[in-house]
Structure 1
Amino acid sequence: MAAPFDVTIRGGRIATDRETLQADIGVRDGVIVAIDSRLPPAARDIDAAGRWVLPGGIDSHVHIEQLSGMGRMCADDFYSGTVSAAFGGTTTIIPFAAQHRGKRIPDVVADYARRAREKAVIDYGFHLILADPDEEALTQHLPQAIRDGISSFKVYMTYDALKLDDYQLLDVLALAGREGALVMIHAENHDMIRWIAQRLLERGHTAPKFHAVAHDAIAETEASHRAIALSRLVDVPVLLVHVAGAETVQLVRSAQRLGSKVYAESCPQYLFLTADDLDLPGVEGAKFCCSPPPRDARSQEAVWAGLKDGTLGLYSSDHAPYRFDASGKLPRGEATTFKEMANGVPGIELRLPLLFSEGVQQGRITINEFVALTATNHARMYGLSHCKGNLAVGLDADLALWNPDREVTVSAGMLHDNVGYTPYEGRRLRGWPELVMSRGRVVVEGDRLLAARGSGRYIARRSPEATLPAAGTPPASRLPAMLGLQGKAWPTL
């Protein structure tokens, strides 16, 4: 008689975003089909005694095999990037198919899909980066991409090659409202940064630490305020990515309490790094340069508080991998100025271990909040909860067994990305994923990769399913009704 399950995960402590229980999980054909005590034997039984059994992480903000606005290719392709993600307990990623000006969206998506299909070892969806919202894009290509399962796109308020003006942002928001898509916004005031940077360079201040000076926290807060105002004008939700500063966290919290439809994420670099990390001899500080830059201890505490109280509903890596050489961070070697260094830090493999060790183990967040911040909220926000993001009957068997007692000292040599360094070198972490399963197949066990190149699958995403409760009601605008804009009413995270 055949076993009722292909795999049973037996005797672990299971955590979802809402509950914790001791039970077995039965898997058949890649899907969770039973969660109960004392399930019958399977073709393979996995002993999870003493381990946390958690949903596989969803990293909804990663840059992989993507050409940046500065013309630099990421160090990670879809193979190294997804292998690194898997070893860190992540089973689904949503990277960016990046449109640059003059490029047609269907061509961008087709090229990106081919790269992923050939190399990814875990499942993936796509966002679009939208840099050229012309009439063809807005009336034909974006609506088609949304129908094909790319239900979110990112826009920039800074970077010469990518930034949109407010008029263009309103066009994009209006389209998102009509089509049921989500707009992600990189909010920094471009002219503030440009003005400060020019004056720093004129005075010979070229070192990496001046990147943090040029990207002043006020630039983030001002642009975030403006993005929220544009969102309110057309009554369409927005998501502010990589929130860094204490003032921006408070701005988002206040806007949410007044009923604005604004959501926000933050990232490891804003919990574990500060601007002081950029102040190193020579160009070493370039390893810590990202935008927005890490701030200070006060901002770190504000980000922790925002993750705890739900102001920041998502915790992503913003993995932006560039090597510490002429191909990435240092195009002119030691002579490279802060304005020429590729912006971004790696973090796809350490995202979950960092938060588990310093959040769950230190009592800053609960295990259920960890699950919500790293998996469940991403699934709800980005239209994946029909198959990903939790441990429940009917969902894909995407999960990780975590050893809460395993201690690891971080080094670049232990990681599986193609960057060659980590900004978290030497950090001591407690808690580590030791077995990772994607759609019922074990992809990582101990130090072994068991998944084949190209075995990951594309997930067509649905319209976003998560939004904030109506904590307050902002003054009503007659504009959406006058212009025929229909905003989407979503339930809460």
Structure 2
Amino acid sequence: MTTLIRNGTVVNATGRMAADVLVDGETIAAVAAPGVFTEADTIIDAAGKYVIPGGIDAHTHMEMPFGGTFSNDTFATGTTAAAWGGTTTIIDFAVQAKGTSLLSTMDKWHEKADNHCAIDYGFHMIISDVTDSSLKEMESCIDAGVNSFKMFMAYPGVFYSTDGEILRAMQRASETGSMIMMHAENGIAIDQLVAQAIAAGRTEPVHHSLTRPPELEGEATSRAIQLAKVTNAPLYIVHLSARHALEAVAAARNTGQNVFAETCPQYLYLSIEDMRKPDFEGSKYVASPPLRPKDHQTDLWRGLRTNDLSVVSTDHCPFCFKDQKELGRDDFSKIPNGMPGVEHRMDLLHQGVVAGEITLERWVEISSTTPARMFGLHGRKGTIAPGADADIVVYDPTAKQTISAATHHMNVDYSAYEGMDITGKVDTVLSRGAVVIADGAFHGREGHGKFLKRDLSQYLI
């Protein structure tokens, strides 16, 4: 089965060109000058449109347990929504519970995801119980294609690891060539601030942000960087939200340390003011780290241009306003932490192109190519090139749309970007050569997605 995508502008991280793309089965067979190929089983006209590699969202939480509930997207609904937005690969987090093994955790996440995903998927492993056994199991995880391990400096009693535990895991990562990912907030200090706010009757959603000040994200980021330096371990800071943390990352990278960071669309477009919305509407924007004052956004866009921020992921973790966010109506600390976004990442980042914040090539780089390289998928994903998987998005850069919960496909009852008018829209999406989105309809199927056994990061070998 062959597919010819013709008359479009192919955009890779390295440049753009007028070219046609020939797909044979699940892979890209050729990228050629317009008109070289004239016949195929299926022909897609991309005139006036970009032809880009499918997006890779390297940070999602489908069916994640948190605060007595679960994130509301299943692997089936979440990956379908991702496809609508031009994302053709997700990397989700398998969450180790205290007292359980890493390998049993991986098995549990396979049970959730296998034969349910509409697009390809991989896993990171959350280590919440640092023991001799779990440290030994890291190597078995790597053999199984899960070679990135997330730890938390926040959420004492749930996910939190001490500095000593982090140091031990980093030593193991250094030995194995794997990646430590870090949620960098000073959870011990934050818990004190939260308790003080609740005791004083400050229970509104905005206090979630006010009790998690950017200085404590910056301090934890700096501490994680120093631990990584001592252990000679690579470090990837997840969902960076504050200039204080960005300054620490930039300083480390300037010395040549293997430190990387991602940010998320919510930190580029939303702010603490959204959390002040009346009638408990601010709870829709509760996530960790929290939304910051708007002036942090300028620094984050600059970080994307300078590559001190290497990736944009979503931290997609949707909880419905009704019945889930409302668990914290009288106590902001009980609001489930997380926001929906997997469907809109590519579109929101394209607004950065429209506004002149980033180039077309950088758009592709931070949303697809760098995640592929960072997490062991390079060559298969993240590029329009012969031999790569035919994960391809035909994108209309002039189409207009308005983001709304009434039209999105995520399994959540609100949109964090409700009413936002944007320029650009996904036209057609191929996942390993199969058309999954076309003509405003979903043509994929649950179970099409394959598990991706990932190689070690290209940045570390």
Note whether the superposition's TM-score is higher than 0.5. yes
Matched, 1:421 2:380: no
8 Å contact from structure 1 (residues 207, 282) kept in 2: no
8 Å contact from structure 1 (residues 246, 298) kept in 2: no
Deviation (angstroms), 1:405:
1.0
* 2: CA distance, partners of 1:61 / 1:348: 9
* 2: CA distance, partners of 1:144 / 1:190: 30
Of 338, 348, 351, 2:345 maps to 351
Deviation (angstroms), 1:250:
1.6
Deviation (angstroms), 1:43:
0.7
**Alpha-carbon deviations, 1:81-126, whole Å to 9, x = none?**
0000000000000001111101222221112112211310000010
Deviation (angstroms), 1:255:
1.5
Deviation (angstroms), 1:260:
2.1
Matched pairs, number: 458
**Alpha-carbon deviations, 1:160-213, whole Å to 9, x = none?**
200000111011111111111111000000122111111111110000010110
Ranges in structure 1 where 5+ consecutive residues have no aligned partner: 467-488
Q: Could you tell me which residue of structure 2 aligns to residue 175 of structure 1?
A: 172
Deviation (angstroms), 1:152:
0.5
8 Å contact from structure 2 (residues 64, 317) kept in 1: no
8 Å contact from structure 2 (residues 272, 294) kept in 1: no
Query: 1:159 is paired with a residue of what secondary structure?
Result: coil
Deviation (angstroms), 1:72:
2.0
Query: 1:330 is paired with a residue of what secondary structure?
Result: helix
* 2: CA distance, partners of 1:11 / 1:413: 33
8 Å contact from structure 1 (residues 238, 263) kept in 2: yes
8 Å contact from structure 1 (residues 379, 388) kept in 2: yes
Q: Could you tell me which residue of structure 1 aligns to residue 451 of structure 2?
A: 458
**Alpha-carbon deviations, 1:3-59, whole Å to 9, x = none?**
xx6101011000000110001001112100111022131011111111100110000
* 1: CA distance, partners of 2:19 / 2:375: 29
Aligned residue runs from structure 1 range 381-420, under 5 A: 381-420=374-413
- Matching residue's letter, 1:148: A
Aligned residue runs from structure 1 range 477-492, under 5 A: 489-490=460-461
Query: 2:332 is paired with a residue of what secondary structure?
Result: coil
Matched, 1:145 2:141: yes
Q: Could you tell me which residue of structure 2 aligns to residue 57 of structure 1?
A: 55
8 Å contact from structure 1 (residues 56, 398) kept in 2: yes
Q: Could you tell me which residue of structure 2 aligns to residue 218 of structure 1?
A: 215
Deviation (angstroms), 1:236:
0.9
Q: Could you tell me which residue of structure 1 aligns to residue 118 of structure 2?
A: 121
Q: Could you tell me which residue of structure 1 aligns to residue 16 of structure 2?
A: 20
Q: Could you tell me which residue of structure 1 aligns to residue 198 of structure 2?
A: 201
* 1: CA distance, partners of 2:282 / 2:184: 23
8 Å contact from structure 2 (residues 90, 122) kept in 1: yes
- Matching residue's letter, 1:362: A
Ranges in structure 2 where 5+ consecutive residues have no aligned partner: none
8 Å contact from structure 2 (residues 76, 118) kept in 1: yes
**Alpha-carbon deviations, 1:209-242, whole Å to 9, x = none?**
1011001111100000000000000111100011
- Matching residue's letter, 1:49: A
TM-score by length of 1: 0.91
Of 241, 245, 249, 2:242 maps to 245
* 2: CA distance, partners of 1:239 / 1:347: 21
Query: 2:155 is paired with a residue of what secondary structure?
Result: coil
TM-score by length of 2: 0.98
Matched, 1:312 2:309: yes
* 1: CA distance, partners of 2:68 / 2:120: 27
Q: Could you tell me which residue of structure 2 aligns to residue 365 of structure 1?
A: 358
